[in-house]
């Protein structure tokens, strides 16, 4: 969402539309506290509906921009590497670069383990049109 761009290269969402995990957590904490005290929650209901609409729009946009087969970066065919199980043989720095290139939500602090980067890339390939073909 933070890095989504349209076909013209412009961002799809404004910075003011981004929500942090703390904001979402605070919303539900306030909602729970108000429901325990029987206080009307009109503003929170409106905010929840807006967030729900925003989430629905986000899903529609993401489905519109799904990855197309094959997912390639430089000379690496990511789909083939995942299907052969050879992605784990790549160096950590390259895995980090791939995740950044595909704008995947990498850990805030760089991790010295391949596992989080491998899982992000494997998850990305699972949305590719080739993932249904390999299961057959």
Q: What are the average pLDDT values for consecutive 10-residue runs of the chain, which has 136 residues?
A: 77 78 84 72 78 82 65 83 89 88 80 87 80 49
Torsion sign across C-alpha atoms 59, 133, 83, 72: negative
What pLDDT does residue 134 have? 45
What pLDDT does residue 100 have? 85
What pLDDT does residue 126 have? 82
Q: Establish how many alpha carbons lie within 13 A of residue 126's alpha carbon, considering only the half-sphere containing its beta carbon.
A: 6
Largest Cα separation within the chain, whole Å, is 60
> Which residues have CB under 8 Å from 87's CB, separation 6+?
78, 81, 95, 118, 121, 122
What pLDDT does residue 103 have? 82
**Chain centre to alpha carbon of residue 99:** 11
Query: How do the domains of the chain map onto residue ranges?
Result: 15-64, 72-134
């Amino acid at each position: 969402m933070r890095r989504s761009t349209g076909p013209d290269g412009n961002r799809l969402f404004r910075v003011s539309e981004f929500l942090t995990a703390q904001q979402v957590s605070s919303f539900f904490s306030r909602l729970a506290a108000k429901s325990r005290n029987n206080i009307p929650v009109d503003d929170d209901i409106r905010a929840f509906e807006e967030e729900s609409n925003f989430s629905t729009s986000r899903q529609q946009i993401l489905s519109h921009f799904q990855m197309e087969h094959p997912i390639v970066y430089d000379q690496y065919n990511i789909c083939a590497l995942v299907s052969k199980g050879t992605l784990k043989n790549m160096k950590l720095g390259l895995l980090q670069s791939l995740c950044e290139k595909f704008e995947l939500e990498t850990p805030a602090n760089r991790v010295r383990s391949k596992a989080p980067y491998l899982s992000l890339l494997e998850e990305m390939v699972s949305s590719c049109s080739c993932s249904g073909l390999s299961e057959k």
